[in-house]
Amino acid sequence: MHTVEVSHLAKRFGDIEAVVDVSFAIEPGEIFGMLGPNGAGKTTTIRMMMDIFKPDAGSISVLGGPLDLPKKRRIGYLPEERGLYKDQKLGATLTYLAMLKGLDQKTAEGRLGQWLERFDLTDYRQKKVEELSKGMQQKAQIIATLLHEPDLIVIDEPFSGLDPVNTRLVKRIFEEQRDAGRSIIMSTHQMYQVEALCNRIVLINEGRSVLYGRVEEIKRNFAGNAVELKGQGDFTEIPGVLETRQLNGSWHLALEIGADPQDVFRALANRDGVKIDRFELAEPSLDDIFISVVQDGNHGSEAGHV
């Protein structure tokens, strides 16, 4: 049984079509990446999943059916726009939010103690939230998301404001949650985090799910859409290339969907002042795929669907 199943969702706000057609499903015990450029419709999709907004069309099944209040309490949600009571004490705020999720005060306070210790925030329990640094507030927000031990965790940009040490800690915690059989939906722009954590992804662009499936399969499907080369000369503005960036002395070119690497090679070879030492097909990163699909518009839905 899927933890979440979303089928042909659509939502309009006045004249704006926020979501046109989004479909995906999430398995138990997986970390699922939800990707897309700003304004693609990710947050609206999440809000419809969370029953905050009602969809105009399509169907949603969460934890085995329509979302009701008892099921909502089995969800941990870290929204895009963080929210804690700034003028209240950290401990009291997190306990209140956990109790709203159904925990009794004693359990909530007991679990909170453990989480604060893990996140090195024990000394800040009696401090006001506004006295905490941005990174500490982010950790507190993650605690609020996990304190009631939810079955489904929805996290939007979970690594925002975290230093590398805490990023690693949070990643480890999410992996533990996944290993405990919980489903995690992660929305982020940090592609390397998605590559490192997510089993499967959906890419939403202009309100549509344009890419959906296992990360390795998607990358395999997009093989040939990236080229790595070494040499001297001008490697910018090459026909069929979407983005050129330099990495450790090499050049990494993200190609348009359907662009032939041989044509790119020929175009470079014909350029004056260009000397090529090495030219090879590269496995595209999710970053390349994201750029290819988003910049190429809806072509990705045909090429990338698994």
Partner 1 sequence: MRTIWLVIKHEIYTTLRKRSFWVMTFIMPAILLAFNTYAVIQDSDIGGSEESEAESGPASLPAIGLVDDAGLLKEMPESFPQDLFTPFADEAAAMSALEAGDLEQIVHVPADYLATGEILVYDQEFKLMSSGDDMGIAFGSSSDWVLPYLINYNLSGDESLTVKLRNPTPGSIAEHHVVRPTADAIEGDERVMAEIIARAMPYIYYFILIISSGYMLTSVTAEKENRTVEVLLLSLNPRQLMLGKIIGLTVVVLVQMSVWFAGGALTVGQSSSLLNISAFDFPPGFFIWATLFMLGGYLLYASVMAAVGAIANTAREGNQITWILILPLMPTLMFADKFLTEPNGTLSMVLSMFPFSAPSAMVTRLAVADVPLWQLGVSLGGLALTAYLMIMLASRFFRPHHLLSKSKFNWRRFAAALRG
Binding site for partner 1 (CB under 8 A): 13, 47, 50, 52-53, 69, 72-73, 75, 77, 79, 81-88, 92, 96-97, 99-101, 144
DSSP annotation string for 72-91? HTTEEEE-SS----TTSBHH
Q: Which is nearer to partner 1, 50 or 173 (CB)?
A: 50
Minimum CB distance to partner 1 smaller for 79 or for 284: 79
Nearer to partner 1, 89 or 214 (CB): 89
Radius of gyration of the chain (CA): 22
Rounded to a whole number of angstroms, the minimum distance from the CB of residue 212 to partner 1 is 25
Rounded least distance, CB 25 to partner 1, Å = 21
User: Residue 92 CB, nearest distance to partner 1 (Å)?
Assistant: 8
Return the number of the residue (48 or 254) whose C-beta is nearest partner 1: 48
- Shortest distance, position 71 Cβ to partner 1, whole Å: 10
The contacts of residue 77 (CB under 8 Å, 6+ apart) are 50, 145, 153, 154, 155
Instruction: Name 138's Cβ contacts closer than 8 Å, sequence gap at least 6.
Output: 82, 158, 160, 161, 162
What's the rounded Cα separation, in Å, for the pair 47 and 103? Answer: 24
CA angle, corner 178, sides to 109 and 5, nearest 5? 105
Q: How is residue 240 written in tokens?
A: 């069929």
In the complex with partner 1, the residue whose CB is nearer, 90 or 229, is 90
Minimum CB separation of residue 186 from partner 1 in Å reads 17
* Residues 146, 150, 156, 158, CA torsion sign: positive
